[in-house]
Amino acid sequence: MEKTESPKTLSSPATDLLEREENWDNQILVKYEGTWYVDFTLQPLLSARTNFRAKDGDVIVASLPKSGTTWLVALALSIAKRGLYPPGQSPLLTAHPQEVVGSLEFNHYLKHDNPDLEGIPSPRIFSTHAPHVMLPDSVRESDNCRIIYICRNPLDRFVSVRQFLLANLVGMEEAAPPAIDQEFDKFCRGIDVCGPFWEHILGYWKEHLENPRKVLFIHYEEMKEDPVGHVNKIAEFLGCPFTAEEEKQGMAEEIAKLCSFETLKNIEANKQGYLHATFKKSTFFREGKVGNWSNYLSPKMAEDIEKIIEAKFKGTGINIKTKFHTNKGTD
């Protein structure tokens, strides 16, 4: 469904009136309608919520930070646009996945209230860390947009965020990293980018249960176990299952391989330069493992998160996979 009304220009929300927290990396989080946003991403998300005009076939890749966004956008692009970009001619061979697929808040709406996105060839793919309630109105209302959500266990996410920030803050790698306890405490209280994490996950989970044709819910840990199965699942969900001919050619396997951690990490374009002007591209490919948290977090911390998971997700039917592997990280 496409909206026809004229775009609205939003006045900046008075972020100085919102509840705020300063993180150890100097990032400011502001609380808006119950969710914590990095301060400068709130206005872009509000603009996108109002002004984005969904088109049939649009694909939104949604996630909490460090849940596997880079991996999923690479897969969505390679699957949905394989006619245009077969794996051997993929733009992923020469650019970071998140340069090829832009984010609503970090790219398209960052500097413009109402960017012209009409020229992007269909199917258009966008990523976002927004919770479901903050998605563009036209996406939530449309029957013909597809949303793919990737959920990763909170322990690995917490560690991935921390290591990412340490690697990107000048001097932090060499200096003693700031104590983890305070940061962990905030995370457990839901003060986390686009958190509380349980609200974010449950928002998409509920939509998935209500409309599985529109919202696909993927677990990072399960996709690690069976990438090819997930490539097939995503292709079917997007309405472009592999043909018999493509199956014979091993297209799903080729796409899974192109988008694998090992392949992407070793592509020259992902080894140097910056994304969003600040983050080293290489730091989007750190370990890519399940259970890596046990190298960094104490058993007590894991227990604290388990208790939160038990309390928040009980009876919802989601299986948050902290217990998938608890060794030193597996491929």
Q: Which stretch binds ligand PAP (CB under 6 A): 69-77, 131-139, 233-241, 304-312?
A: 69-77
Residue 62 or 309 having the CB closest to ligand PAP: 62
Chain positions 75 to 134 lying near ligand PAP, rule: CB under 6 A, are none
Q: Is 325 in the site for ligand PAP (CB under 6 A)?
A: no
- Pair of tokens at residue 77: 């692009």
Helix intervals (H) in 109-260: 137-141, 154-168, 180-188, 197-210, 220-225, 227-237, 244-249, 251-258
Q: Tell me the per-residue interface mask from 161 to 200 with ligand PAP, x by CB under 6 A, - otherwise.
A: --x-------------------------------------
Q: Is 36 in the site for ligand PAP (CB under 6 A)?
A: no
Residue 249 or 295 having the CB closest to ligand PAP: 295
Which contiguous run of DSSP H or E holds residue 127? strand 125-128
Q: Crossing angle for the helix pair 197-210 and 299-313, nearest 10 degrees? A: 40
Residue 144 or 168 having the CB closest to ligand PAP: 168
Determine whether 129 is an active site residue. yes
Q: Which stretch binds ligand PAP (CB under 6 A): 5-13, 21-29, 68-76, 117-125?
A: 68-76
Residue 205 or 261 having the CB closest to ligand PAP: 261
| The 125-128 sheet, strands edge to edge | 125-128, 59-63, 146-151, 215-219
Q: Is 158 in the site for ligand PAP (CB under 6 A)?
A: no
Q: What distance in Å separates the CA atoms of residue 134 and residue 47, rounded to the nearest whole number?
A: 10
Beta-carbon contacts of 292 under 8 Å, excluding residues fewer than 6 positions away, are 156, 159, 160, 328, 329
Q: Please count the other Cβ atoms lying within 10 Å of the Cβ belonging to residue 25.
A: 15
What one-character-per-residue DSSP string does 257-277 give? HHTSHHHHHHSGGGTSSEETT
- Pair of tokens at residue 90: 């993929």
Total of chain residues touching ligand PAP, rule CB under 6 A: 21
Q: Is 260 in the site for ligand PAP (CB under 6 A)?
A: yes
Nearest distance in Å: CB 325, ligand PAP: 12
Q: Is 264 in the site for ligand PAP (CB under 6 A)?
A: yes
Which contiguous run of DSSP H or E holds residue 28? strand 28-32
Site residues, ligand PAP (CB under 6 A): 63, 65-71, 156, 160, 163, 259-261, 264, 284-288, 292
Report the catalytic residues: 129
